């Protein structure tokens, strides 16, 4: 099975719960489990090849210009993490089926879970760091949904926000580090990066890249000082907690460090940053876990501690430590998933997770007691269970560091003492002791569906502990080989003789027993001792950042658009001035072109019209006329500089804009009031003048100089016919070379029209509607509301305009025209019907649903773009050919016409929907307007002229 398909299967599974949930939660769970099982089976089928040292890859070009390719790889490390993600995921899906109540929306839960599973599989299978970054951010988003699944709980919402904030910010840092790493290596493909160790470590950018990447890894894996978000994620349902803490979310950071271990490790910077962070996290997490009352909180901080242990091992930088790290990843996943599911069973059946309210469950819940005890003893590192083996390997590696680093051995032993203490507390304070009478619910073991998963994991805990080389040795070898880049051979055994590791292990077990005995006085001392609370610090930082941001925002944008524009303009001028002062523009290399009289006159008219716009802008009708003059002159300049397409577009846009604004002005005051002082207006004029001079100077400097880079225009001119099949370069750019931009623009245009329609709907309701019905025009109106000659002319012109629009549309690929201009021409023809005959007449006769027209346009453009995929081409790549029909000359047919049709429909739909919004306001205003002798023609309900067409 292709690695790409394995990565895709969980996302396919995410589609199924929403479709099948009405058939029952068992059907939804079965569908998700099937998708997960098939992906797991497909992964395991590659194990024989991976054990032979092969790397299975699948490569697809996506965005080759930025080296973002959909490349996937399966090696030993991918097999390790993929098996944990899919295998434990399969158990979690089954467990959640019985854990969640009937009130919980199971379809939503499984959708979120499968999205998260797919994101994790994308991370571990990615062979391109840019693709990995996409999946990395997707894990943050999907985990946010999972943690906040019980959104009615404030703790759930806060935990989700905290997790997203911390991991999201870490992800931003990691993006920068990955980009630097890719630039150093000269490639963003992981396979190439893993071969560039010397170049990467010799680069002066190695340390910045290392720090930024590690910030992303540390935040995701809850390393100190970012550890605080993980316990607050416990507000999620227990299946989520078990999955995040054992096999997925927190393991992503470990995976990243392991994946890049061959090129980033082996330096002093790597050792001191990674190993020290892991050591501190291991100790802090273990110490906090000992004193937690909530079962899930205890397990959460224990997870933090064990993540620190693995991070420390990776930080040591030796092959033996890497082997110990991957072995503990396996062991931690088995016993921690079992423990979390056991904690969920206790909470589900006893009604509480508070250790203070538990105890005596050994006889009441014998199955849960057996599962929890075995898993907790493994977590404590008690022989002969699997946790003991990897803990011994960790202590052994710590004891063999050089003398200057021996404090790692001491601190690791102290952390192991705490680890034994909280593990024994989980057993003795929850299951042993007398039975109580005040349990919230009467405790009892659940059905098979809930304890089967943790029981299976517990069996693995025992089997791996008893037969480590048979059960897990092969997986440790292939994954450690992928981490180190060399063939690894693990030698896992319970006894290596009496050495420092054995002594430290005995000290840890004895010390843990002492901590359990002294827990009450130690807890009292812990609660009274002053200590920083990470959550409080985080909340203070967030609040401070919000206050600072709000203060800065209020200072710059207090609701006044002139102030906001002033700050924006000043910032732009400052940036441009800094660039000009510190940069080098070079000497002037181009001579001035001769200034001809006619263009000079046009330029003067443009300046005069713009200046008049500034001085007379408060008279809105005059301002609109001046805007139209500026647009008209600009259109003439486009035509003068041999840009007929731009000229046609500009003049069409100006006509549509002027007509719509004229109609809108009908409902607005005719003058703009003076709302600012003379001083403020003077400052505004000064800033505007600086901006005008600055941008004018920039334009002049660019036009008078030659630059080292070539303009992209040459490529467009040379390839528009060969690649796009059109001689009209502007149209080919819009529908092919830059088709994706155009697709986004027409989508935004449609959204804007829909927003106008929605705002209009608001105006037509409530108080606004009442004001419209009582509105009286502030000026007299002419008696001849619909001049007969204008009515007849527009109706006669309409079919000719539609024919011209069709002509412009069809010729657009090779001659000036295209869907955008054709849409504007048709829209103008329809606008004139409204102006000549009135809103009511035109609206009553329109039968086209403009909402659907916009949707059809977006769909047509999208379907045309997708069609390129079937030819193995990138999205929106055009295909063209020549057709010969009887009695006709040979002519060209291009798929770009379908895209252009989408543009045409969107433009017509958007303009007419905006006009439709104005017509609805006008009709509402004319329903019960107060009639006066001078404005008796104000209503749209008046009878049409006799003989009207």
**DSSP line for 724-756:** HS-S-HHHHIIIIITHHHHHHHHHHHHHHHHHH
Give dist(CA 854, CA 893) in Å, integer.
24
Does residue 667 surpass a pLDDT of 90? Answer: no
What are phi and psi for residue 126, nearest 5 degrees?
Answer: -65, 140
Q: Give pLDDT, residue 773.
A: 64
Q: Give pLDDT, residue 21.
A: 73
Both tokens assigned to 192: 């190439």
| Per-residue pLDDT band at 208 (split at 50, 70, 90) | very high
Torsion of CA 786, 788, 790, 796, to 10 degrees: 130
The tally of CA atoms less than 13 A away on the side-chain side of residue 121 is 29
Global pTM reads: 0.72
3-class DSSP state for residue 331?
A: helix
Does residue 539 surpass a pLDDT of 70? Answer: yes
Q: Which of 567, 565, 570, 576 is nearest to 696 (CA)?
A: 576
3-class DSSP state for residue 260?
A: coil
Could you give the residue ranges of the DSSP H alpha helices within 317-447?
A: 319-350, 361-364, 366-380, 386-399, 407-431
Query: Which whole number is the average pLDDT over 186-192?
Result: 91
User: Domain-by-domain residue ranges, the chain?
Assistant: 726-949
β-bridge partners, 894:
880
| Per-residue pLDDT band at 677 (split at 50, 70, 90) | confident
Q: Do residues 875 and 864 make contact, with C-beta atoms less than 8 angstroms apart? A: no
3-class DSSP state for residue 597?
A: helix
Q: Give pLDDT, residue 881.
A: 77
3-class DSSP state for residue 602?
A: helix
| Per-residue pLDDT band at 757 (split at 50, 70, 90) | confident
892 DSSP 8-state letter: E
Q: How far is CA 345 from the centre of its chain?
A: 34
Q: Give pLDDT, residue 946.
A: 35
- The more confident residue out of 283 and 531 is 283
Q: Give pLDDT, residue 942.
A: 38
The 10 Å Cβ neighbour count of residue 773 is 14
Does residue 921 surpass a pLDDT of 60? Answer: yes
Q: What digits encode the pLDDT tens for the residues 14-56? A: 998 888 877 788 888 999 999 999 999 999 999 999 998 899 9
Binning the chain into helix, strand and coil, the percentages to the nearest 5 are 75, 0, 25
Q: Do residues 620 and 668 make contact, with C-beta atoms less than 8 angstroms apart? A: yes
Give the contacts of 221 (CB within 8 A, at least 6 positions apart). Answer: 250, 251, 252, 253, 254, 307, 311
Rg (CA), the chain: 36
Q: Give pLDDT, residue 866.
A: 87
Q: Which of 218, 227, 247, 224 is nearest to 162 (CA)?
A: 227
Query: Which whole number is the average pLDDT over 126-150?
Result: 92
- The more confident residue out of 622 and 404 is 622
Q: Give pLDDT, residue 775.
A: 63
Q: Give pLDDT, residue 38.
A: 95
Give dist(CA 16, CA 782) in Å, integer.
64
The 10 Å Cβ neighbour count of residue 530 is 4
**Cα dist from 617 to 609, 739, 792, 914, whole Å:** 11, 37, 35, 24
Q: Do residues 453 and 92 make contact, with C-beta atoms less than 8 angstroms apart? A: yes
Does residue 785 surpass a pLDDT of 70? Answer: no
Both tokens assigned to 567: 């700050």
Give dist(CA 413, CA 290) in Å, integer.
15
Could you give the residue ranges of the DSSP H alpha helices within 666-787?
A: 678-703, 713-724, 729-732, 739-763, 766-773
For the ranges 202-211, 498-507, 716-725, the maximum mean pLDDT occurs at 202-211
Q: Which of 840, 841, 838, 859 is nearest to 909 (CA)?
A: 859
Does residue 110 surpass a pLDDT of 60? Answer: yes
Residue with tokens 């500009």: 650
Q: Which of 428, 371, 417 is nearest to 391 (CA)?
A: 417
Does residue 327 surpass a pLDDT of 90? Answer: yes
Give dist(CA 476, CA 614) in Å, integer.
75
Length of the chain: 949
What are phi and psi for residue 360, nearest 5 degrees?
Answer: 75, 20
- The more confident residue out of 489 and 95 is 95
Q: Is 90 exposed, middle or buried (0-12, 13-18, 19+ CB in 10 A)?
A: buried
The tally of CA atoms less than 13 A away on the side-chain side of residue 156 is 15
The 10 Å Cβ neighbour count of residue 41 is 12
Could you give the residue ranges of the DSSP H alpha helices within 45-100?
A: 47-51, 76-99
Does residue 943 surpass a pLDDT of 50? Answer: no
Q: What digits encode the pLDDT tens for the residues 554-593? A: 877 777 777 888 888 898 899 888 888 887 777 888 888 8
Strand pairing category for 72-74 and 56-58: antiparallel
Give dist(CA 829, CA 745) in Å, integer.
23
Query: Which whole number is the average pLDDT over 422-436?
Result: 90
Both tokens assigned to 920: 């609805």
Does residue 282 surpass a pLDDT of 90? Answer: yes
- The more confident residue out of 727 and 330 is 330
- Residue-wise burial string across 741-768, b where 16 or more C-beta atoms lie within 10 A, e elsewhere: ebbeebbebbeebbebbeebeebeeeee
Q: Give pLDDT, residue 872.
A: 79
Give dist(CA 2, CA 589) in Å, integer.
57
* Out of 62-76, 466-480, 506-520, 777-791, least confident range: 777-791
Query: Which whole number is the average pLDDT over 54-67?
Result: 86
DSSP string, 512-536: HHHHHHTHHHHHHHHHHS----HHH
Q: Which of 147, 437, 124 is nearest to 296 (CA)?
A: 147
CA angle 590, 591, 596 (to 5 degrees): 130
Both tokens assigned to 410: 């001491």
What are phi and psi for residue 393, nearest 5 degrees?
Answer: -65, -40
Give the contacts of 904 (CB within 8 A, at least 6 positions apart). Answer: 809, 819, 820, 822, 823, 826, 857
Q: Is 870 exposed, middle or buried (0-12, 13-18, 19+ CB in 10 A)?
A: exposed
**Cα dist from 314 to 74, 324, 397, whole Å:** 21, 9, 11
The 10 Å Cβ neighbour count of residue 579 is 11
| Per-residue pLDDT band at 281 (split at 50, 70, 90) | very high
Give the contacts of 813 (CB within 8 A, at least 6 positions apart). Answer: 725, 726, 727, 728, 731, 732, 735, 892, 894, 896, 897, 900
Does residue 937 surpass a pLDDT of 70? Answer: no
Q: Give pLDDT, residue 777.
A: 62
Does residue 134 surpass a pLDDT of 60? Answer: yes
Q: What digits encode the pLDDT tens for the residues 230-256? A: 888 888 888 998 898 887 888 899 999
């Amino acid at each position: 099975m292709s690695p790409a398909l394995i990565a895709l299967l969980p996302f396919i599974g995410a589609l199924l719960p929403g479709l099948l949930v009405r058939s029952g939660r068992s059907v939804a769970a079965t569908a998700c489990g099937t998708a997960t099982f098939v992906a797991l089976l497909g992964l395991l089928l590659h194990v024989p090849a991976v054990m032979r040292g092969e790397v299975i890859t699948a490569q697809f070009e996506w965005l080759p210009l930025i080296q973002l390719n959909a490349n996937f790889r399966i090696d030993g490390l991918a097999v390790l993490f993929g098996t944990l993600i899919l295998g434990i995921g399969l158990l979690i899906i089954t467990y959640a089926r019985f854990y969640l109540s009937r009130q919980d929306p199971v379809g939503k839960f499984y959708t979120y879970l499968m999205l998260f599973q797919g994101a994790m599989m994308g991370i571990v299978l990615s062979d391109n760091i840019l693709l990995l970054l996409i999946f990395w951010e997707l894990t943050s988003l999907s985990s946010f949904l999972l943690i906040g699944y019980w959104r009615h709980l404030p703790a759930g919402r806060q935990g989700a926000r905290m997790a997203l904030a911390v991991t999201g910010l870490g992800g931003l840092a990691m993006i920068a580090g990955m980009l630097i790493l890719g630039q150093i290596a000269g490639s963003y493909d992981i396979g190439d990066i893993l071969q560039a160790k010397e170049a990467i470590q010799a680069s002066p950018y190695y340390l910045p890249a290392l720090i930024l990447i590690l910030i992303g890894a540390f935040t995701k894996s809850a390393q100190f000082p970012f550890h605080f978000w993980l316990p607050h994620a416990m507000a999620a349902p227990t299946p989520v907690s078990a999955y995040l803490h054992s096999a997925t979310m927190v393991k992503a950071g470990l995976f990243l460090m392991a994946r890049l271990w061959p090129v980033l490790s082996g330096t002093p910077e790597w050792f001191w940053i990674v190993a020290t962070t892991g050591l501190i996290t291991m100790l802090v997490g273990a110490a906090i876990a000992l004193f937690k009352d909530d079962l899930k909180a205890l397990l959460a901080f224990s997870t933090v501690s064990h993540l620190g242990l693995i991070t420390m091992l990776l930080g040591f930088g030796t092959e033996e430590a890497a082997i110990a790290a991957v072995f503990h990843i396996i062991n931690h996943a088995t016993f921690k998933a079992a423990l979390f599911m056991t904690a969920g069973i206790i909470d589900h059946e006893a009604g509480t997770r508070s250790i203070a309210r538990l105890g005596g469950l050994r006889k009441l819940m014998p199955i849960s007691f057996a599962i929890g005890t075995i898993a907790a003893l493994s977590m404590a590192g008690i022989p002969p269970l699997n946790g003991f083996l990897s803990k011994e390997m960790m202590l052994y590696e710590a004891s063999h560091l050089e003398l200057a680093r021996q404090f790692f051995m001491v601190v690791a032993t102290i952390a192991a003492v705490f680890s034994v203490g909280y593990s024994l507390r989980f057993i003795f304070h929850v299951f042993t002791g007398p039975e109580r009478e005040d349990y919230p619910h009467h405790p009892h073991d659940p059905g098979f569906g809930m304890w089967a998963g943790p029981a299976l994991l517990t069996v693995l805990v025992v089997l791996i502990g008893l037969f480590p080389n048979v059960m897990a040795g092969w997986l440790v070898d292939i994954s450690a080989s992928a981490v180190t880049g060399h063939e690894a051979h693990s030698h896992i055994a319970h006894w290596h003789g009496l050495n420092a590791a054995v002594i430290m292990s005995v000290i840890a077990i004895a010390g843990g027993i002492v901590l359990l005995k002294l827990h009450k006085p130690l807890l009292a001392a812990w609660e009274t001792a002053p200590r920083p609370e990470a959550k409080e610090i985080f909340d203070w930082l967030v609040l401070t950042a919000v206050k600072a941001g709000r203060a800065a925002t209020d200072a710059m944008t207090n609701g006044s658009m002139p102030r906001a524009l002033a700050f924006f303009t000043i910032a732009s001028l400052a940036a441009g001035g800094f660039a000009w002062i510190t940069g080098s523009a070079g000497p002037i290399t181009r001579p001035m072109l001769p200034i001809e009289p006619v263009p000079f006159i046009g330029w003067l008219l443009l300046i005069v019209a713009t200046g008049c716009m500034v001085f007379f802008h408060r008279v809105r009708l005059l301002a609109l006329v001046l805007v139209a003059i500026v647009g008209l002159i600009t259109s003439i300049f486009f035509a003068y500089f041999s840009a007929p397409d731009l000229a046609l577009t500009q003049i069409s846009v100006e006509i549509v804009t002027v007509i719509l604004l004229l109609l809108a002005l009908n409902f607005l005051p005719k003058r703009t009031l003076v709302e600012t002082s003379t001083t403020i207006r003077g400052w505004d004029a000064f800033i505007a003048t600086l901006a005008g001079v600055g941008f004018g100077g920039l334009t002049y400097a660019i036009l008078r100089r030659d630059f080292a880079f070539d303009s992209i225009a040459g490529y467009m001119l040379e390839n528009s016919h060969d690649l796009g099949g059109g001689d009209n370069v502007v149209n080919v750019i819009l529908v092919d070379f830059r088709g994706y931009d155009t697709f986004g623009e027409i989508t935004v245009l449609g959204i804007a029209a829909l927003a106008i329609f929605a705002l209009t709907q608001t105006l037509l309701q409530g108080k606004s509607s009442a004001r419209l019905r009582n509105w009286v025009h502030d000026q007299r109106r002419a008696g001849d509301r619909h001049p007969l000659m204008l009515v007849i002319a527009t109706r006669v012109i309409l079919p000719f305009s539609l024919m011209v629009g069709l002509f412009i549309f069809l010729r657009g690929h090779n001659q000036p025209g295209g869907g955008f201009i054709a849409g504007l021409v048709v829209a103008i023809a329809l606008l004139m019907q409204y102006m000549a005959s009135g809103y009511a007449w035109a609206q009553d006769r329109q039968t086209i649903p403009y909402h659907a027209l916009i949707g059809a346009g977006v769909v047509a453009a999208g379907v045309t773009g997708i069609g390129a995929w079937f030819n193995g081409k990138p999205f929106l790549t055009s295909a063209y050919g020549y057709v010969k029909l009887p009695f006709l000359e040979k002519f060209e047919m291009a798929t770009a016409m379908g895209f252009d049709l989408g543009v045409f429909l969107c433009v017509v739909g958007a303009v007419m929907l905006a006009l439709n919004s104005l017509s609805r306001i006008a009709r509402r205003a004319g329903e019960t307007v107060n009639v006066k002798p001078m404005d008796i023609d104000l209503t749209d309900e008046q009878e049409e002229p006799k003989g009207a067409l």
